Every structure is written in C-alpha cells, then in structure tokens.
A and B are shown apart, each in its own frame.
Chain A
Amino acid sequence: MPLQSLDIIRRSATTLPEPEVRRAHTGQVAKLIDTTKCIGCKACQVACMEWNDLRDDIGTCTGHYDNPPDLSEHSWTLMRFMEYENPKGDLEWLIRKDGCMHCEDPGCLKACPSPGAIVQYANGIVDFQEENCIGCGYCVTGCPFDIPRISKKDKKAYKCTLCSDRVAVGLEPACVKACPTGAIVFGTKEDMKQHAEERIEDLKTRGFDQAGLYDPAGVRGTHVMYVLHHADQPALYAGLPDKPKVSSAVRLWKGAAKPLALFAIFATAAVGFLHYIGVGPNETDESDEEAARRELEKTP
C-alpha cells in the first residue's frame, strides 16, 4: 500500500487480524447526495476526473443526457438522468449521481479472493488497492450496485475511492467540493443523517410525501446516502435497487462453503490414509498368479 495505514478494519481474503488500533472515535464518514437539489451540471464528474487524473474516452452521443453512457474504469461517478411522469401527469427530471455506495457490509470485499485488494478503513470508506488486484472480477459478482469496472488495459478493478486520499488529510471528496448547489455534502454519518432528516421534512411540506433517506439496511447501511423525493420507489432513479443485499449465492460461496469444503477435502484424504494404514494395501500375490495360470490352462 502506498501509505502505512493503521486504520483498516476489514481486508479482503484475509484470515489474520489487521492493524486496527485506530478507530473512528469521532464517527464514520458519509457522503449525502440530495437528488432533490441536483441540477445535473456534472461538475462532480469533472471534479472526479480532475482530482483522480482520469480521462475517459470521448464517446458518441447516445441521445441521452448520460455522458459517458456508463461508469467505467475511467469514470468513477456518473449522473444518471431519468424522465419520470408522476401520477399527476407532470414531468419530473430525476437525476442521480451514481457511483460506489461504500457499503458498511461490502459485497465486493466479501467476494474478493486476493488478500488486501479491497479494504475498508475505520472511517467506513471501501477502497480498492489495485496493486493487489488480480483481475478476476469477483468484486463485480459481489456488488449489489453494479459499480466495479475492470479495466480493459490492465485488467484491474476500479471504482470511486470516496477520495480516501483527500479524506485522510481532512479534505472533503472532490465531487462535494465542486457541487454548486450543495446537493452533495460530506461529514460524519450521524451528521449526514440529521441533515437528511431536515431536508426530508422540508420536502414533505412541499408535497413530496414519500421523500426519504436511502441508507439500505440490507448492506448494513452505506457511506454514500441519497435523499430521494420518491424513497418508496428507488428504482425510478435509474434502477437504484429497492432492497439491495449481497446475493445469497455469493454469501454461501464466500461464507460457509469455504471452511466446509476445505474440511471435507482434508477429511476425504484422511479417511483414505487411515483406511490404508488400517486395512493395508490390496495386493496380488503368487496364489492369484497361480489361479490365473490354472484358469488359462483350463480354458479350452
């Protein structure tokens, strides 16, 4: 790792304890994205490119405001634009800044087979350490939000770091810094939840009865949260999952299956060995050769 870090609370594919004496005593961090304040200017995308030195390929117009059309190893955040016709028949332009949600229970980290390729810091940020990444794509399999992207060039996985390098020195993420409307705010998770509550209260007085916070419990909450006008229908926001959780197939594969399978393999070998020690080899002796010879002579 580039910096000696003593505040890793979770590390992928690791059976040993991490140096974790430093805890987030003042609270874990969170980024709150208020979709109701977003004007779709893409300043956050530009700030992300600038700070992280990323330049995506210049694509082609797909007849849609989304640009680039999807997240990629070069685009760690993306505004997704949706035109929603509400029951009153009015058009609502729903814009969601997509990117890593920094789950408290990260499916990517759970699925990763390479020690230390994915870590979670005490402050809650989930970070990829590309030098340890082997390019298998299991993080993609584990993620309930379809976030990690494998680079075609180096076959390594990339995603939003929540500007862990900026946060480590007391700065807010670049997208937060750039947002002109205050739709993206950053602070401790508790503060962000409180701020969200105030926003939701305000939205409810403005006719958005279903306004709410998106902090899904299925992944034990996220360190990137949304304020949604329609929290009852997260799918309206470019398919934001309703109840995201790490797939049960991935949980089994990366959970009970691992120790049970190794145990069963060793047990099979042990039974074979003890059988050999107990019963002894199954040998052919001279009497068998003699019997074979007799039978051959007997056959007409």
Chain B
Amino acid sequence: MNTRTANAIIRYSAGMRIKHWVVAISFVLVALSGLALFHPALFWLTNLFGGGPWTRILHPFIGCVMVAVFFLFSATLWRDNYLQDRDWVWLKKIKDVVGNREEHLPDVGRYNAGQKLLFFTIVVCLIALLLSGIVIWRIYFSAFFAISVIRYASLLHAFCGFVLICAIVVHIDAAIWTKGSIRAMTRGWVTPGWAWKHHRAWFREITKGIAQK
C-alpha cells in the first residue's frame, strides 16, 4: 500500500504539502509556547524555546508565520470547503462517521463536513488570534490600545488558542484514524480505493476525464 501505484490519485500538490507542514510545525511551536505562558504547570515548556524571555519573544513571530502561510494555503482550499446540503446530512449521521460505517453516509466531495467545519473554525480562530495577539504584543503594539481592550484581548487570545488546540487535536486524531490520509499529506497521493471510499463525489469528479480517454 505504500508503494505508489500507476493509478494513484494526486490529492495534495507539493506546494500544498509544504504549506500545510509549515503551518503544522509553526502551530506546534506556537501552541507549546502559548501553553507555557497560559498555565503555570506547563511553564517548563519555555525551556524548549531557550527560556521565558525567548518564549515571549518568539511566540508572536511564529504565530505570524503560521497565520500568513495558513492564509496562502487556505486560498487553495477555500472553495472546496463551502458547506453544501449533503454536508448537513453527513453531520446528522455523525454516529455512522465515528463508527466506521461510511456506507451509510452521503457521497463526500473533496472534503467532508467535519473537515469543512474544522477549516472554518481554524479561519475564525486565526483571525481572532492575530487581532488579539497584536493588541497584547507588548513591545510593539500594546501602547496603542486602552487597557480594557488589552484585558479582553488577552482573554480572547487564550480562548481562541484553546479552541484551535482542541480543533487540531481532533484533526490529528482523524488523520491517525483514517489510514492513508497522513500519506496523502506527506507524499501527496491516495489510492483510487481511498478516494472512492472516503470522498466518492471527488473521486467521480476527478476520474471523469481519465475514463473518457
């Protein structure tokens, strides 16, 4: 299954894979440094970044890299993530989703409803994190904002960081659970059977041309 076959389907181009992993790695760094400053029990994580002051210095810059590359990445994902009628049916059958009974689910396009909701959760969280992060970026920007704005921005930043971390935990769980998807994001291709099983509407759409040849 790990050898690329002649009929493999390309799911993620090299550019998309690179962008995804730049975002993923910067997310891990920004999450670890953010958690270090969020909860005292995790302050030891600052050692990974060279101590407390370095964690404070690096966290916002890494965050900016994550947001910037994510929005480049999202441009290629945006249209495929619009929610459609069949997505609501899919969500109603969430028990079949988590129970590995995909035969009961409606056909899925390039992304399923869960992936779409995750995508927009990330979009909203990143925008909020960016804006609130600017407000609480003490050395450059905090002087421009009223103290009450800074207080609520701190709370909002922590809340959105928390939602984003939970969302990414679900994302990672799903990737480990659905075999073949990590390969899709590391090497770019999926087998026709994988596309047929998990994203049948997408499979039909992209194979239409091939079959006609």
Contacts and interface: CB of A to CB of B under 8 A. Distances in A.
A115 B211 CA distance: 64
B170 A272 contact: yes
A279 B173 contact: no
A299 interface: yes
Interface stretch (B20-28, B70-78, B83-91, B186-194): B186-194
Contacts of A136: 37, 56, 138
A136 B33 CA distance: 13
A113 B38 contact: yes
Nearest to A275: B98
B15 interface: no
Interface in A22-38: none
A269 B173 contact: yes
Interface string A144-166: 00100010000100000000000
A247 B148 contact: yes
Given A141-B136, A272-B169, A282 B41 contact: no
A276 to B, nearest CB: 5
Nearest to A299: B211
A13 B40 contact: yes
Nearest to A291: B196
B125 interface: no
B2 to A, nearest CB: 13
Nearest to A112: B40
A152 to B, nearest CB: 8
Given A258-B39, A264-B162, A288 B155 contact: no
B10 to A, nearest CB: 15
B180 interface: yes
A137 B142 contact: yes
A164 B99 CA distance: 63
Contacts of B173: 269, 272-273, 275-276
Secondary structure at the A interface, as helix, strand, loop or mixed, is: helix
A115 B37 CA distance: 10
B14 interface: no
A261 B197 contact: no
A235 interface: no
Interface string A251-266: 0110001110110110
Interface residues of B, number: 58
B52 interface: yes
A285 interface: yes
Contacts of B52: 114, 132, 134
Given A275-B173, A284-B180, A292-B195, A250 B154 contact: yes
Contact of A113 (B37, B100, B102, B142): B37
B165 interface: yes
A163 B131 CA distance: 39
Contacts of B193: 284-292
Contacts of B55: 134
Interface string B32-62: 0000111111110010000111011000000
Contacts of B36: 113
B177 interface: yes
B158 A13 contact: no
Given A257-B158, A284-B194, A264 B40 contact: no
A249 B40 CA distance: 18
A276 B193 CA distance: 21
Given A155-B53, A247-B148, A252 B155 contact: yes
B212 interface: yes
Contacts of A252: 155
A283 B53 contact: no
* Across the A-B interface, the 4 shortest Cβ-Cβ residue pairs: A272-B173, A137-B138, A289-B193, A134-B52
Given A258-B39, A282-B178, A296-B210, 11 more contacts: A134-B51, A150-B139, A247-B151, A258-B40, A268-B169, A269-B173, A279-B177, A281-B179, A283-B180, A295-B203, A299-B212
11 contacts: A14-B40, A113-B40, A114-B43, A115-B43, A134-B55, A136-B37, A262-B41, A265-B162, A268-B169, A292-B192, A292-B193
Interface of B: 36-43, 46, 51-53, 55-56, 98-100, 102, 136, 138-139, 142, 147-148, 150-152, 154-155, 158-159, 162, 165-166, 169-170, 172-173, 176-180, 191-198, 203-204, 207-208, 210-212
